[in-house]
Amino acid sequence: MRMSFREFLELDKETQRQLGTINEDLSGKAKDQKLKTLETLLQGHDWWWFMSDDSRSYRKGQEQQSKIKRLVDFIGKDGMKLYKSYGKKKGVMEMVKS
């Protein structure tokens, strides 16, 4: 089911809850902006956070990873492609095919 955000808001609260997340189409400038935001996050991300003994570093890395995952899921295929390319560059995803 595809609908605009406006149509979603017109639904009753129970139907909104059942539908859960909204999948809006990203196109043009909006998609480019989201990809730039994702790239900025990926460049500054500690790709080896899960190996940290410091709980603060671990927690920060986990939060960054969660934010990146939400953005990748929102963008879709192009976001995942960018994510995998950065992961490979950082040596975290050597076995992943693009």
Give the residue among 1, 93, 85, 96 at the shortest CA–CA distance from 43. Answer: 85
In this structure, is residue 65 part of a structural domain?
A: yes
pLDDT of residue 98: 47
For residue 59, being part of any structural domain is answered with yes
Query: What amino acid occupies position 35?
Result: L
Indicate whether 13 belongs to any domain.
Answer: no
Which residues in the chain land under pLDDT 70?
A: 1-2, 16-26, 94-98
CB 57: neighbour CB atoms within 10 A?
Answer: 14
Number of domains in the chain: 1
Say what the pLDDT of residue 28 is: 74
Note whether residue 8 is domain-resident. no
Residues of the domain holding 82: 26-89
Measured between alpha carbons, how far is 72 from 82 in angstroms, rounded to an integer?
A: 9
Question: Whose CA is closest to 79, among 47, 49, 34?
Answer: 34
**DSSP class of 11:** S
- Could you tell me if residue 12 is inside a domain? no
Look at residue 53 and tell me if it is in a domain: yes
pTM, rounded to two decimals: 0.67
Domain assignment present for 16: no
